[in-house]
Chains A and B, each alone.
Chain A
Amino acid sequence: MISLEAIKNAVQSWLQLHIGGTLALVAESILLGILVITLFAVLGLLLVFMERKVSAVMQIRLGPNRVGPKGWLQTSADTLKLMLKEGLTPDGADRFLFNLAPFMIMIAAMLIMAPIAFAKNFQIWDINIGVLYISSVASISVIAILMAGWSSNNKYSLLGAMRSGAQIISYELSAGVAVITMIILTGSLSVNDIIASQENGWWIFKGHIPAIIAFIIFMIAVTAETNRAPFDLAEAESELTAGFHTEYSGMKFALFFLAEYINIFIVCAVAAILFLGGWMPLHIGNWQAFNHVMDYIPSSIWFFGKTFLLIGLIMWFRWTFPRLRIDQLLNLEWKYLLPISLLNMLLMTIVAILKWYL
């Protein structure tokens, strides 16, 4: 059976055989870089198209259907348009920070790709603090947003950036506590270990109620962290026109736009790894035949299937809910989500001590 693991191994051994040593490592790094950028491009195009189709279905429209077969080339055409547009820098803007911000947000998103396991034994960097690495690198993006908002010399941008700063920093706490809640069960921060611990059942099923609460809190918190509706206050278009990226145009705007979608993919991938078993197939108790059939589905399909399911959930949120107000948003986090998730962590500790999850 052809799997991503087999391809990886074949490439690796070919490189070792024909180039060998340090040069092989360099070649592998370059290949990985190209792969990540390609993944970004493909994901960006796919997710933007998916968002437009999902919203179209919800809004009784057809969505893009003119460019290419069934509109599949619409996002490519849009990207081409954005590339050809002039990237303006407004007068009075801090040129250096203004131009740096979109790249920073992209680089942060790219770095997070490293420890994510896309399939069985298919991971760029098996770091033993994988989940910690993800949450720490993800918090760089708030600096990029603040940079963009401040350097634009626009009041709407500044207001949007300030909102975003308050929002992301607050919700990172809940997301972090939800992650810790799951770490209590797995006993390891490594992405591979977390997935391996779910071989005989995903955490959302065998983690009892605390795992489900943690999952819900995690999904709410990451929706807020990625600035998606109903928490899209940073770019609330009816209030702040476009928030922190009001002044950006052309490809610089596209990078922000792309980063938003990549971030959605990343947080959903993390949720899939923590709660839904990453690339682990679905196994039900003693149903041997069923489990066997599930094993035949490639692990990459399991991973991407779960991730896209969660992305669909987040898109569903966006097209259904109205937006919260800034004080309500912070109230929700500090008065409800954070205390609940802390309590939930205690509950999970009890579950872990009593070993109820086995």
Chain B
Amino acid sequence: MHEVVGTTPEGDFIINVGPQHPATHGVLHLVITLEGETIKNIEPHLGYIHRSIEKMCESLTYRQFIYVTSRMDYLSAHINNHACALCVEKGLQVEVPLRAQYIRVIMDELTRIASHELWWGAMAMDVGAFTPFFYAFRERETINEIMEETCGARLTMNYMVPGGVMADLHPQFQQKVKNFIALYKKKIDEYNELVTGNIIFQNRMKGVGYLSAEDAISYGCSGPVARASSVACDVRKRYPYDVYGLVQFEEVLETGGDAFARYWVRIQEMQQSVRIIEQLIDNIPEGEFQAKTKAVLKLPKGEFYQRVETARGELGVYIVSEGGTTPYRIKFRSPGFSNLSALNQMAKGGKIGDLVATMGTLDLVIPDIDR
């Protein structure tokens, strides 16, 4: 444990980045040891916005606790809810109607696009370009409008319930999604033109924040961070849930392991998400949108685990049930926490500017880390 202020005995600077700092996107607190501009050590301090979500879940019923998880990784609210719903369904052994599965997957992928959009804008802002942020929000807004019409909320949707989804689709849902997809395909090219191809941007990103495949595995990294180091870990592909087994999509892998590889994986993932939605949107089957479940859910005694792929990586939900209406214990395995732990490995020896670029490519959402 270092001192939080002053200098080290060797005369190196210790500076606090955060909890209130423009680069940390929220309230992450990093204690950095600097020699001039070079980073010698990074120590994340957690707990600033710990809200004991896991403990709260223990006193809520199986229907109620899902809503709390929207506040964890708020940019992937749908996917968090999806993970919890799947886990409860596993315990109840409920068969989810096909229509509900289709809706869930489409919503997941829309969420993934929205989340990557926000990351893309914030990433560009981290390396000093302000304008992409607004472009990203323009497209994200369209998704948010679709969400608002379908679920009644823009950020914390709470649309997934055990057994299916809360309500049926909006009548114009399909048309709106198709319009969005048609527009969005062109926008990705615009992003590449504006940011990806920029020589300054490439210089800032290439060869920065290197993470080897071995390190990615040993730190437990997942999602785009691990896939950029050529670790195949896409839960949608490896352990398909709902209709992910039926759709054609590629698991994006890069071998670079640097910040640019992580950036490029996310850009390509947005294109894959578009591909998934395109396959599903026209084929949503008719039928029930929710399976018949009892008013009060009781999971049998035992342990249940379900993992899903959020926009940040692998989210695991682990429920221990004693047979009652509330879980005995809930544990979330959040992708952000593991990804953050690799930050020191990645950014050590680099410049402050590299740290910001690396941190941007980790796509950290602090409530996901602190819970």
| B131 interfacial by beta-carbon distance below 8 Å | yes
Q: Which of B21, B134, B201, B356 contacts A60 (CB 8 A)?
A: B134
Q: Which of A58, A229, A326 contacts B128 (CB 8 A)?
A: A229
A125 to B156, CA, bound (A): 64
Measured between C-beta atoms, what is the minimum distance from A52 to chain B in Å? 12
> Taking CB as reference atom, which chain A residue is nearest B7?
A155
Contact B134 A238 (CB under 8 A): no
Contact A59 B134 (CB under 8 A): yes
Measured between C-beta atoms, what is the minimum distance from A245 to chain B in Å? 15
Contact B124 A322 (CB under 8 A): yes
Chain B 122-138 against A: per-residue CB contact (8 Å), 1 yes, 0 no?
00111111110111001
| B188 interfacial by beta-carbon distance below 8 Å | no
A233 to B356, CA, bound (A): 13
Chain B 193-217 against A: per-residue CB contact (8 Å), 1 yes, 0 no?
0110010110110000000000000
Interface residues in B65-86 (C-beta closer than 8 Å to A) = none
Contact B198 A321 (CB under 8 A): yes
Q: Which of B13, B21, B195, B203 contacts A324 (CB 8 A)?
A: B203
A325 to B135, CA, bound (A): 24
A60 to B135, CA, bound (A): 8
A54 to B352, CA, bound (A): 30
Q: Assuming A55-B130, A241-B21, A322-B204, what are 4 further A-B pairs, CB within 8 angstroms? A: A55-B131, A60-B134, A239-B352, A321-B200
Measured between C-beta atoms, what is the minimum distance from A244 to chain B in Å? 15
Interface residues in A55-96 (C-beta closer than 8 Å to B) = 55, 58-61
A35 to B198, CA, bound (A): 43
Contact A239 B356 (CB under 8 A): yes
* Chain B residues within 8 Å of A322, by CB: 124, 127-129, 195, 198, 200-201, 204
A165 to B126, CA, bound (A): 23
Interface size class of A (residues with CB under 8 A): 20 to 34
Measured between C-beta atoms, what is the minimum distance from B103 to chain A in Å? 31
Contact B15 A239 (CB under 8 A): no
Contact A58 B131 (CB under 8 A): yes
Q: Which of A59, A60, A326, A328 contacts B130 (CB 8 A)?
A: A59
Q: Which of B37, B128, B198 contacts A159 (CB 8 A)?
A: B37
Q: Which of A61, A232, A238, A325 contacts B354 (CB 8 A)?
A: A325
Contact A237 B201 (CB under 8 A): no
Q: Which of A59, A230, A319, A326 contacts B351 (CB 8 A)?
A: A326
Q: Could you pull out 17 A-B pairs where Cβ atoms are within 8 angstroms?
A: A55-B131, A59-B134, A59-B135, A159-B37, A232-B128, A238-B125, A238-B128, A239-B353, A239-B355, A319-B130, A320-B194, A321-B129, A322-B127, A322-B204, A323-B204, A325-B204, A328-B203
| A240 interfacial by beta-carbon distance below 8 Å | yes
> Taking CB as reference atom, which chain B residue is nearest A59?
B134
* Chain A residues within 8 Å of B127, by CB: 238, 322-323
> Taking CB as reference atom, which chain B residue is nearest A320?
B131
Contact B200 A230 (CB under 8 A): yes
A322 to B194, CA, bound (A): 10
Interface residues in A303-358 (C-beta closer than 8 Å to B) = 319-328
| B22 interfacial by beta-carbon distance below 8 Å | yes
Contact B198 A238 (CB under 8 A): no
| A194 interfacial by beta-carbon distance below 8 Å | no
Interface residues of A (CB under 8 A from B): 55, 58-61, 155-156, 159, 163, 229-230, 232-233, 236-241, 319-328
| B23 interfacial by beta-carbon distance below 8 Å | yes
Contact B129 A159 (CB under 8 A): no
Given the known inter-chain contacts A238-B22, A322-B200, please indicate yes or no for A59 contacting B131, CB distance below 8 A.
yes
* Chain B residues within 8 Å of A324, by CB: 200, 203-204
A324 to B124, CA, bound (A): 12
A306 to B50, CA, bound (A): 55
A163 to B351, CA, bound (A): 12
> Taking CB as reference atom, which chain B residue is nearest A58?
B131
* Chain A residues within 8 Å of B134, by CB: 59-61
* Chain B residues within 8 Å of A321, by CB: 128-129, 198, 200
Measured between C-beta atoms, what is the minimum distance from A153 to chain B in Å? 12
* Residue from the set B130, B201, B354 with the largest chain A CB neighbour count within 10 Å: B130
Contact B356 A326 (CB under 8 A): no
Q: Which 9 A-B pairs have the closest CB atoms?
A: A323-B128, A59-B134, A325-B353, A322-B129, A322-B127, A238-B23, A322-B128, A322-B201, A238-B126
* Chain A residues within 8 Å of B21, by CB: 241
Contact A238 B351 (CB under 8 A): no
* Chain A residues within 8 Å of B203, by CB: 324-325, 328
Given the known inter-chain contacts A321-B128, A321-B200, please indicate yes or no for A156 contacting B356, CB distance below 8 A.
no
A55 to B134, CA, bound (A): 11
* Residue from the set B127, B203, B356 with the largest chain A CB neighbour count within 10 Å: B127
A267 to B298, CA, bound (A): 73
Measured between C-beta atoms, what is the minimum distance from A42 to chain B in Å? 26
* Chain B residues within 8 Å of A320, by CB: 129, 131, 194
A211 to B206, CA, bound (A): 34
